[in-house]
Structure 1
Amino acid sequence: MKYYLSSYKFGNQIEELKQLIPKNNKIGHINNSRDWVGSDPEKANKDQQEEITLLNETGFKAEPLDLKGYFHKTDELNEKLTSLGGIWVSGGNTFVLRMAMKLSGFDKIFEALKNRDDFLYGGYSAGICILSESLKSIEFVDDPNNFPYKGINTPIYGGLGVFNYSFMPHYDSDHFESEAIGKEIQRCIDNKWLFKALRDGDVIIVKK
């Protein structure tokens, strides 16, 4: 799998992103990190459509991929993901995103999906934080006790486990979470937790 990991939105390496477009350029846009209790669904949909438009202008054929439609339908989600060449995972609440991934079975499917050479994982903020082994290091930025879905009422602190370090997006940036991220970074240092800090605009590209 190839990874395009941005601190915020699409970052400053759009030309490099174009080079990562797989032969099958159909990509699913996962917006479930914006499902948190108290969010504005209208704004979430607007933000998703703006990102889908940019993905299409970049060279993808993007479409919404709402994990809620696949809760307890893992086989159907697996079939859908098999038909795609990639996914884009938006920012929001990482813990809410993790719940949606568990209820849909995405986390189990991902174990096989990440071994595909022809698949692209792109995302930002929560969409990259979810890839770490542990989400403990961001619990004071994203509320782990926000439960928008029936069936889960305890936080999930285990991420997808691709990386053994945490991502710290919005570091030293003009972003409302930047100050809280700075405090989380200090907590990582105090606890000797591995992390990578990204300023908005920064992108990490990984080919595994």
Structure 2
Amino acid sequence: MRLYLSSQRLGRHADTLVRLVGKRRNTLVIGNALDYIPAAARAVYAATTYDPVAELHALGLPAGWFDLRDYVGSPIRLHDQLSACGLVWVLGGNAFVLRRAMRASGFDGVIHGLLAQDALVYGGFSAGAIVAAPTLRGLDLMDDPKVGTFGDEAISYEGLNLFPKSVVPHAGSGHRDSSGADKAAQWLTDQRMPFVALQDGQVIVVEGDRTTLMP
């Protein structure tokens, strides 16, 4: 299994991500954590502030946008698309919105199977890192779990369970979400739940049975 979990964007170790990906560099960028934001506003932000596709291209990782909503109820088609890439890069936003898209599309089972085969790298930042944990409990102090829900839709706190601890991004970083991160870290501490608090720039790298917290 290969994971690259960052607090903010690529962090300070983009060279490690490139090495981790290796020769199969085609990248799919999943932005479903931002589904609650109008598409026009997202396009303006990408054009004027931050474009993850362009950032990855600059590293030699050919990237394109990938919308999990196009694969709801179609896990076989999803598997075919993911198995053709070397990196799945999952953006920040709202972790609960992201998890709903992942579950609906069958992403959970597909990504577990491909990672077990060491067929690709799962990478992501902020919400993309949060969802890699076994649970999102406590992270509702950062992200509102009701965003994007419909009526009395049940809220799930189940994570992807790719990484054995909760991941708290933006801790002590001056980020707009840092206050929520500190509250989440305190809640997890009080509950005696294992977690890693990441400052912006820091990255968790998993290669097989080796896990490294990179400063």
Please state which band the TM-score falls in when normalised by the shorter chain. Answer: over 0.9
In the other structure, the counterpart of 2:211 is none
Q: Distance in 1 between matches of 2:23 and 2:73?
A: 30
Match of 2:199 in 1: 199
Deviation at 1:174, TM superposition (A): 1.7
Q: Within 5 Å, which residues of 2 pair with 1:1-208?
A: 1-36=1-36, 39-45=37-43, 46-47=45-46, 50-147=51-148, 153-208=153-208
Once the 2 structures are TM-superposed, how far is the Cα of residue 164 of structure 1 from its aligned partner? 2.4
Q: What is the aligned length?
A: 205
Which runs of 5 or more structure 1 residues have no equivalent in the other structure?
A: none
Contact 2:99 2:159 in 1 (8 A): yes
CA distance in 2, matches of 1:88, 1:119: 11
Q: Which amino acid aligns with 2:14?
A: I
Distance in 2 between residues matched to 1:176 and 1:194, nearest whole Å: 24
- Give the direction of change, closer, same or farther, for the CA distance of 1:88–1:193 in structure 2 (3 Å limit): same
What TM-score do the two structures reach when normalised by structure 1? 0.92
SS in 2 for 1:63: strand
**Residue identity matched to 1:102:** R
Shift of 1:183: 1.0
Deviations 1:174-207, CA, capped at 9 Å, x for gaps: 2111011111111111111111001001111111
TM-score under structure 2 normalisation?
A: 0.89
Q: Distance in 1 between matches of 2:128 and 2:87?
A: 13
Going from structure 1 to structure 2, the CA distance change for 1:40 and 1:173 (only over 3 Å counts) comes to farther
Comparing 69-78 and 122-131, the one that deviates more: 69-78
Q: Distance in 2 between matches of 1:152 and 1:95?
A: 15
Identity of aligned residues (%): 34
Tell me the alpha carbon deviations over residues 43-77 of structure 1, each in whole angstroms, 9 at most, x when there is no partner. 33343971000101101111111001111111111
Which ranges in structure 2 are unaligned for 5 or more consecutive residues?
209-215
Partner secondary structure for residue 123 of structure 1: strand
